[in-house]
Amino acid sequence: MKFTPFFSLYMPTLTSSFPFLLYSKQPPWLICSPPQSSPITTFNNGSKRTRPFSLFSSSLLLQVSKAKTKQNIHQNFDFFFLFSGRNHFANRWWSKETVAIVTGGNKGIGFSLVKRLAESGLTVILTARDVERGYKAIEQLRNEHGDGDDLHLHFYRLDVSDPASIKTFVSLFEKDFGVLDILVNNAAVSFNEIHENSVEHAETVVKTNFYGPKLLIEALLPMFRQSTSACSRILNITSRLGSINKMRNPKMKEMLLSENLSEEQIEGMVNLFIENVKKGTWKSQGWPEIWTDYAVSKLALNAYSRVLATRYKDCGLRVNCFCPGFTQTSMTRGKGTHTATDAAEVGARLALLPPHQLPTGKFYIGFSPGIVSKL
């Protein structure tokens, strides 16, 4: 689905409401000109790529294709623009007593997220499957910081694909800390090369990328801090490959778009996919065409995030998703349009949004070469 004509149609309406929203001369790249004296941050496709901190945020439910009127645009589009520089952290609501967990924190985006959050002054729990790599990551972070004693870092072993490991981790965390403010579900796997689409490891991918975060969230729910001055938050690192518009099965798409979507329906979808894989019929059943097992796992995680956001919207818990885009990590074999550090900078800013600016049930897409459809 292409969105340039759609936005061209409503651009006068959008720019009148959001005067800093413009198109570049090379559409559909998005240029955001911050108000007042903030430095301009741009998305561009030239060789001298700027560090892009602008984001397109969308409801986890609404489809762009369903926005028929200008009124729908105003009611259903939320734009959050995060600008470069450290000014974003001037409105500091957290302290060293604020506790954050980052899964898969020993490398890539997870490692950079841990670094950014720890440098911001939070207490950060770095988790990893491999104990040796986990401790090495902690050591590296302390060495890079200079005065490592200033960082409030802790390592715990956690394999999100293993329910027993989740149970052990949560038990230890509850004993040592007891309360949680931020959970970043970053740990994920894919066994495909960039241009491959094998489903040989589909069960492992789904178990790690969907059931792992789901079981961890459920186990940690009682520990999220109840506060009148700050909202607890869950940020699920996900992918636009798991957008609803990637699903080609009309009945499944209709189910996912339902306002009454349930956990049981999401798990039923995942079970059906695994069944199709085992029968060898998955290619003809309308599942996403790119990195199918990974896409289905992220589709399920996105859908579950929306269910959680609705369920806990009045309970002081905010649940959002963030797609960092094509990032240079081990999953992409080092290929990508930006570094893990760049992606983590955006992720950290989302995780640390001030309570009065923190929404719930949103899907943020950063480093994107255009406007991407909502889930």
Whole-number Å distance between alpha carbons of 93 and 352: 8
∠ CA 355-243-305, nearest 5°, is: 40
Three-state SS for 235-296 is: EEECCHHHCHHHCCCHHHHHHHHCCCCCHHHHHHHHHHHHHHHHHCCHHHCCCCCCCHHHHH
- Residues 331/247, Cβ–Cβ less than 8 Å: no
From CA 281, how far away is CA 297, in angstroms rounded? 18
**CB distance 21 to 15 below 8 Å:** yes
- Respond yes or no: is residue 294 known to be catalytic: yes
The two structure tokens encoding residue 363:
């899907």
Which among 332, 318, 327 has a CA at the least distance from the CA of 362? Answer: 318
Distances 238 to 21, 118, 324 between C-alpha atoms, Å: 25, 22, 8
Q: Which helix (H) or strand (E) holds 216?
A: helix 212-220
Closest CA to 332 of 135, 158, 188, 185: 188
Catalytic residue among 10, 135, 156, 294: 294
Contact 325, 337 (CB under 8 A): yes
The span from the CA of 164 to the CA of 141, in Å, is 28
Q: Could you check whether the bond before residue 28 is cis, i.e. omega within 30 degrees of 0? A: yes
- Residues labelled catalytic: 294
